[in-house]
């Protein structure tokens, strides 16, 4: 799960998907990162922690880290929160880039539409709740597709750098 700073959206996505995977009996390792390094080592934003806790998910022990091209070797799939993250991950990955390993998270709910998970950074708590709901629904879809036997959630569009 990748966003810009790894303190708002991607920590929520990591926590939600890991929680749902455990509940489904799946032994997945879910991690998150940011394309920027501004917050490396910091915990998630206090409102992300609060909203996650309100929904029964503890993300308080997470610490921000920057995405590394080696993540392509270490993870089966990489979800990004918006088209800017997609472009950044592509540029940061260099020769390890594989388009079929990366997609926008909300393409799970809205295939091929390349919708962004809004960044709640400058907003109020209600924005974090809205973001949580979107992430929660997308993570439900990921688990549902996996359990149904999908070998990989089809990449719906070849150009994910537009239509935020």
In a domain, 100, yes or no: yes
For residue 10, the enclosing domain spans 2-147
Strand-pair partners of 66: 34
Q: How many structural domains is the chain composed of?
A: 1
Nearby residues of 12 by Cβ (< 8 Å), 6 or more positions away: 44, 48, 51, 52, 57, 59, 128, 131, 132, 135
In a domain, 163, yes or no: no
In a domain, 155, yes or no: no
Which positions are catalytic?
3, 9, 119
In a domain, 156, yes or no: no
CATH number at residue 72: 3.40.50.2300
Mean pLDDT for back-to-back runs of 10 residues, the chain (164 residues): 99 99 96 98 99 99 98 96 98 96 98 98 97 99 92 45 48
In a domain, 157, yes or no: no
pTM: 0.91
Identify which of 19, 103, 93, 99 has the alpha carbon closest to the alpha carbon of residue 62: 19
What does the pLDDT read at residue 158? 42
What b-and-e string marks burial along 81-93, b requiring 16 or more CB atoms within 10 Å of the CB? bbbbbbebbeebb
């Amino acid at each position: 799960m990748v966003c810009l700073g790894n303190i708002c959206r991607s920590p929520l996505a990591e926590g939600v998907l890991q929680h749902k995977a455990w509940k489904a009996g799946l032994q997945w390792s879910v991690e998150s990162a940011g394309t920027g390094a501004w917050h490396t080592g910091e915990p998630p934003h206090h409102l992300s922690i609060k909203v996650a806790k309100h929904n029964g998910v503890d993300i308080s022990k997470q610490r921000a880290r920057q995405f590394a091209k080696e993540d392509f070797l270490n993870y089966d799939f990489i979800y990004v929160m918006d088209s800017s993250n997609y472009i950044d991950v592509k540029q940061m990955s260099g020769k390890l880039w594989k388009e079929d390993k990366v997609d926008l998270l909300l393409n799970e709910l809205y295939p091929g539409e390349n919708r962004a998970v809004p960044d709640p950074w400058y907003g109020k708590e209600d924005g974090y709740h809205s973001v949580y709901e979107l992430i929660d629904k997308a993570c439900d879809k990921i688990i549902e597709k996996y359990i149904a036997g999908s070998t990989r959630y089809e990449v719906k569009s070849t150009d994910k750098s537009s239509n935020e």
